[in-house]
Amino acid sequence: MRNLFSSALIAALTLVFACTHKSAPKITAIPTPPEEPVAWDTIGKPVTGDDISETNPIIYDFEEPKAINSDSLLPYNPSHTKEVDLIHSKVAISFDWDQKRANGKVTLTMRPWFYETNEVTLDAKNFDIKSVTLEGSNTQLPYDYNNEKLVVRLGKKYTRKDEFKLNIEYTAKPYERTVGGSSAITSDRGLFFINADGTDAKKPKQIWTQGETENNSCWMPTIDKPNERCTQEMYITVEDKFKTLSNGVLVSSTKNADGTRTDYWKMDKPHAPYLFMMAIGEFAVVKDKWRGIDVDYYVEPTYEPDARAIYPYTTEMLEFFSNKLNYPYPWPKFSQVIVRDYVSGAMENTTAVIFGEFMQKTKRELMDDGQTNELVVAHEMFHHWFGDLVTTESWANLTLNEGFANYSEYLWLENKHGKETADFHLLNEQEGYFQSAGDGGHPLIHFGYGDKEDMFDSHSYNKGGCILHMLRQELGDDAFFAGLNYYLKKNEYSEVEADELRLAFEEVTGRDLNWFFNQWFFASGHPDLTISYNWDETAKVATVYIVQNQVGDETPHVFDLPMLVDIYDENGKSSRQQIRMTMRTQSFQFPLNEKPALINVDATKTLLCRRTDNHSEQEWAFQYRHAPEFRDRWDALDYFMNESSDLANDIIREAFKDPSAEIRQRALSSGLDYNEADIAAIEKMASNDPDHHVRATCISMLGELEDPKYVPIYEKGLGSDQAYSVVNASITSLYRTNPSAAIEKAKILEEDDSDAFIQILTTLYAEEPSMDKLPYFDKKLETVDGFPCFPFFQNYQSFLIGLDDQEVLKTAVAKIKSIAMNEKNSEWRRFAATKCIADIRNAQRGKGMAAEVSELEKTLQEIRDHETDPMLKQYYDGF
């Protein structure tokens, strides 16, 4: 699962209006590849104090680890105890759209796991149980049911050699139970009906499921635990106009006498019950093939021409991951579907991935999304090896699913777009983890979680991926990927815990890796390093001093840190050394012929740590110009962004030409006091930079000059082949230079059905309100949704106030109120509409219009009273 955007609404409500940008261009000198490292025991020997003794260290800032005293055991969430083995699930299901129910019959093939038993306990949430029998018998079995667990008494004891089949007829009522949710998966309803009554003309009718963590038991009786797995058959009966999707392959479609159709889907390889899925809707299906298996792209019909762009490089990824792992994709098909109102980012249901509608965009819209879609596709695809084929046995070990899926994003970017693009992604993943750890960390393998949903965080995802990257560096590529192959083959179609991953790597490499797993998987936190340097001219010895500063009850007081160190001479030639830090405070000496121009600790920039690196300004400049890694240049630029020296300005200017778009973009945000040469460089980048985010930034910067000589650049940027970000920057800059020309160009942009121009057009029209622009606002009022709601409604209220027409305002408020009070509208629309009315009230109050303010207060109170969402009600109380 990828929980992308799972907290987007909360973040948006907190910030209300936020704008994120990305990207920038590259550098000069070609870095010299480091020489191969020498042996551990000859260079970089750890030294402390004058006697250079490993056994007599100087240790300062030392804190003894604190003992945790407790009169009771700490919280522990074990793996589910296997009393019965679920072998096969056969489900026949149909739907009652009016009541949002599912009518089902399931046949479960089972046997006792080890001990004999005369009963079986199933997860079955809020069902009407109609019949429970053994296969081949009409005798009703006795059972106990508390709306969560169904305990069936079998009438006799069965041994682990005995197989039995249990038939259960039931009605599932997912909308008649109390539901919960989390920031990662916002509802645990399990089975979802979208626009069930068909009254929302803007939304298709759909049914879909979300099984993770343990929610498929909301629509079928099962053993809903990650360490269970079975094969599956699904008989799904729907109206003939709908297409269905489920796990495995479509065996047959049978039209029924009542106008319905039953699709028979079969999965003949075992997988966990939380990976079962259904999706039902009026989809267009675009078909591909890879190595003889079906690869299908399900989209809404409007997006059929864009399907392959929406799911980019799917077959290429299947080939890449299969080859990289030396383990061919193990399932009989690969399908992807986008659904409305999804409760998470995406979900790796075996052979049938579900995505949220954030993925569903036109080719032009996708130009501004960077690699978002391909990263989500890669993430969910890689789960088909790590998560579906080999599955975490408990949610405490979730990183064995999500850490690997997270790291697949790096592997794909490295393969398709180059190491620098992958390293920028890794940097963002590290920062995401550090932010999460700042609010409180926990071990990566975390048996003490409060709720299983809590495991879907930046530890299981970001930190897990970063640690795999470190392990790859530690073992080397050949051993790392051979270890993954061994792990997959050893544990295929079964559940695993972290020790099995360790044992796989140990089996392949012959090395003891407990030290690595103990500190990175089973402890919390990360190193916090301070690095200092000294050169002894007399002795011709360079010394590196490193201090570990990290604190925390579950964080290692001392991390065991093997690191590579690159030492550069003034000509840019480097030699690579190896060190291993095993003390809280440690120094390392390097005999050299001359003072080094730079000593670069953690030369590959793979270590997950916070660091304070006490380089001189000259050393930082040398690092930017000569060190080979993306992170070398990024960190050096980061240093100079906070400096105001001539050298800092030189490096920032060099970064305008950096090969990395991300670094070019970062340099452009430096606030440098630009001279004529800088402006000329920015002008060139505005026209010709290969990255459209950089072009957009440069166009915006030129616009601030309000110089008409740049108008041709803006007009070029308004072309229909340009990314929306470039068009938005161009129309804004044109408006700064020639407002009337920009308003004329805006009329053309109105014809685009995308929401990409909502913010800029409504901003322009709010600046110069006129009645001829009202139809545009009225049109978008009916459809705007998601984050564009915020700039739209903010500008709408400014426009209405600027018109100063009370009749128009009164009509508009009535429309906005109906949006705010319609529970079928998204939280985005309801919140933004309500805030719009509050802003109109505030503006009217500022004009001293007491009667109008009173009416608007009544309207806001009606909205508050009508709203049922607790989060929205809380926000409304602040209006």
Residue 7 DSSP class: T
The amino acid occupying position 320 is F
Determine, yes or no, domain membership for 71. no
Quick one: angle between helices 372-382 and 314-325, nearest 10? Answer: 40
**514 with 555, same domain?**
no
Q: Which of 503, 520, 537 lies at the terminal end of a domain, its last residue? A: 520
**427 with 554, same domain?**
no
In terms of DSSP H, where are the helices of 442-575? 464-475, 477-491, 498-509, 514-520
**692 with 820, same domain?**
yes
Determine, yes or no, domain membership for 317. no
Nearest to 411 by CA among 347, 325, 311: 325
Do you know the residue count of the chain?
A: 879
- The alpha carbon of 729 is separated from its chain's Cα centroid by a whole number of angstroms, namely 27
Residue 704 DSSP class: T
Question: Residue 439 pairs with which residues in a beta bridge?
Answer: none
Nearest to 498 by CA among 477, 519, 472: 519
- Quick count: other Cβ atoms within 10 Å of Cβ 649? 18
**516 with 530, same domain?**
no
What's the CATH number where 635 sits?
A: 2.60.40.1840
What does the alpha-carbon distance between residue 250 and residue 261 come to, in Å, rounded to a whole number? 13
Nearest to 608 by CA among 473, 454, 513: 473
**What is the edge-to-edge ordering of all strands in the sheet holding 352-355?**
284-290, 293-299, 333-338, 352-355, 346-347
Q: Is the dihedral of CA 382, 385, 389, 392 positive or negative?
A: negative
**860 with 752, same domain?**
yes
Determine, yes or no, domain membership for 551. yes
**561 with 516, same domain?**
no
Q: Is the dihedral of CA 483, 484, 488, 494 positive or negative?
A: positive
**432 with 544, same domain?**
no
**165 with 270, same domain?**
yes
Residues 487 and 504: beta-carbon distance below 8 Å = yes
What does the alpha-carbon distance between residue 584 and residue 61 come to, in Å, rounded to a whole number? 9
**667 with 745, same domain?**
yes
Determine, yes or no, domain membership for 510. yes
Dihedrals phi, psi of 203, to nearest 5 degrees:
-135, 135
Q: Can you tell me whether residue 547 is helix, strand or coil?
A: strand
Residue 142 DSSP class: P
Domains: count for the chain: 4
What does the alpha-carbon distance between residue 809 and residue 839 come to, in Å, rounded to a whole number? 13
What does the alpha-carbon distance between residue 713 and residue 28 come to, in Å, rounded to a whole number? 27
**672 with 536, same domain?**
no
The amino acid occupying position 347 is M
Nearest to 636 by CA among 659, 610, 650, 617: 617
What does the alpha-carbon distance between residue 620 and residue 615 come to, in Å, rounded to a whole number? 6
Question: Residue 564 pairs with which residues in a beta bridge?
Answer: 578
pLDDT of residue 46: 35
Pull the structure tokens for residue 849: 């219009």
Residue 16 DSSP class: S
pLDDT of residue 69: 62
What does the alpha-carbon distance between residue 638 and residue 614 come to, in Å, rounded to a whole number? 13
E strand intervals along 113-189 = 117-123, 127-134, 143-145, 149-158, 164-172
What's the CATH number where 263 sits?
A: 2.60.40.1730
What's the CATH number where 452 sits?
A: 1.10.390.10
Q: What angle do CA 592, 596, 600 make, to 5 degrees?
A: 110
What does the alpha-carbon distance between residue 419 and residue 411 come to, in Å, rounded to a whole number? 9
Determine, yes or no, domain membership for 321. no
Q: Which residues in 141-152 are b (16+ Cβ under 10 Å) and which e?
A: bebeeeeeebeb
Pull the structure tokens for residue 412: 């794909």
Q: What angle do CA 11, 437, 424 make, to 5 degrees?
A: 75
Pull the structure tokens for residue 269: 């390889």
Residues 172 and 127: beta-carbon distance below 8 Å = yes
What does the alpha-carbon distance between residue 634 and residue 640 come to, in Å, rounded to a whole number? 10
**What is the edge-to-edge ordering of all strands in the sheet holding 278-281?**
191-194, 206-209, 278-281, 243-246
Q: Which of 614, 640, 666 lies at the terminal end of a domain, its last residue? A: 640
The amino acid occupying position 481 is F
What does the alpha-carbon distance between residue 607 and residue 560 come to, in Å, rounded to a whole number? 11
**503 with 548, same domain?**
no
Pull the structure tokens for residue 527: 């190193």
- This prediction has a pTM of 0.91
Residues 831 and 875: beta-carbon distance below 8 Å = yes
The amino acid occupying position 720 is S
Determine, yes or no, domain membership for 781. yes
What does the alpha-carbon distance between residue 388 and residue 453 come to, in Å, rounded to a whole number? 19
How many contiguous H segments (helices) and E segments (strands) does the chain have? 27, 29
Determine, yes or no, domain membership for 365. no
Q: What one-character-per-residue DSSP string does 741-785 give?
A: HHHHHHHHHTT--SGGGHHHHHHHHHHS--GGGHHHHHHHHTT--
What's the CATH number where 770 sits?
A: 1.25.10.10
What does the alpha-carbon distance between residue 769 and residue 795 come to, in Å, rounded to a whole number? 10
Burial group, residue 675, by CB count within 10 angstroms (0-12, 13-18, 19+)? exposed
Domain carrying residue 866: 646-876
Q: Which of 261, 277, 293 lies at the terminal end of a domain, its last residue? A: 277
The separation between the first and the last C-alpha atoms of the chain, rounded to the nearest angstrom, is 36
What does the alpha-carbon distance between residue 294 and residue 310 come to, in Å, rounded to a whole number? 17
Residues 263 and 244: beta-carbon distance below 8 Å = yes
Residues 496 and 393: beta-carbon distance below 8 Å = yes
Give mean pLDDT in consecutive 10-residue pieces for the chain, a chain of 879 residues: 55 42 30 38 34 32 46 92 98 99 99 98 98 96 98 98 98 95 91 96 96 98 99 99 99 98 99 99 99 99 98 99 99 99 97 97 92 98 99 98 99 98 98 92 96 96 99 98 99 98 99 98 98 98 98 93 98 97 98 98 98 98 98 98 96 98 97 94 97 97 97 95 95 95 93 89 94 95 92 96 95 97 91 97 94 95 93 91
**613 with 673, same domain?**
no
In order of 108, 166, 452, the CA distances from 80 in angstroms are 19, 21, 13
Determine, yes or no, domain membership for 123. yes
What does the alpha-carbon distance between residue 261 and residue 190 come to, in Å, rounded to a whole number? 23
Question: Residue 96 pairs with which residues in a beta bridge?
Answer: 101
